[in-house]
Amino acid sequence: MASIKLLPSQAHSISRYKSTKSKLLKCCANIYFNKQCINRIITPKYAKVKFTNTSPASQTTAKKAQLIRIKDEIKFLYKKKEELNQKLYETHLQAAKEWGKTWHTIYNSIQDALDREAQRKYKTMDDKIHKLTQSQSKESRNNTLFYPRVKNKTTITFSKEEMELLNKGLKYNLGHKRMT
């Protein structure tokens, strides 16, 4: 499309619409990012909480605090999205009234530019999620090989149930049988 030179007074409604729409798309991308973090059980850098105590209770508390931080961010982003939608609607109506029949062409041009911007934003978000997933996944790094607890050095062969019981260890409690 050919570039059109506009006076600042003419371009105000167009630039206002474009910037509001851009903010809305970024807000939606941030919501997507935070929801993906919750789904994949990863913590973004902004939500990290550090405790000096390394007890299991403090680690659990830290995880819960981080999850709450992410959920609060999502709530905030939804409120922001609602406000931006309202502002975008008003700006759209004003620009359509101001530009008349040419607004449709301007609108399509803005949409094309913002779609490209949104694709780049979502690609960046996906890359961030991928990096966070790799850095925070402990299962893939921990390749510990456990050896069997019991080695039968006798000539007696044990059944599968007996070996499972022996593998539970010396501190395993069989429990009491109820008398009926």
In tens, the pLDDT along 82-110 reads 999 999 999 999 999 888 888 899 999 99
Write out the two tokens for 49: 């909480």
d(CA 127, CA 10): 39
Q: How many CB atoms lie within 10 A of CB 60?
A: 10
Report residue 42 as tokens: 């990863």
Task: State the pLDDT at residue 47.
Answer: 92
In which residue are the tokens 């925070």 written? Answer: 136
At residue 5, the pLDDT reads 64
Q: Where are the alpha helices (DSSP H) in 2-155?
A: 8-39, 56-99, 103-136
For CA atoms 37, 43, 44, 48, give the dihedral sign.
positive
**What pLDDT does 151 receive?**
81
Q: Does 166 score more than 70 pLDDT? A: yes
| Model confidence band, residue 150 (pLDDT cutoffs 50, 70, 90) | confident
Are residues 66 and 47 in contact, defined by beta-carbon separation less than 8 angstroms? yes
Phi-psi region of 116 (alpha: psi -120 to 50; beta: other; left: phi over 0): alpha
Q: Give the per-residue pLDDT at 19.
A: 95
> Quick one: pLDDT at residue 161?
86
Three-state secondary-structure class, residue 165: helix
Amino acid at 69: R
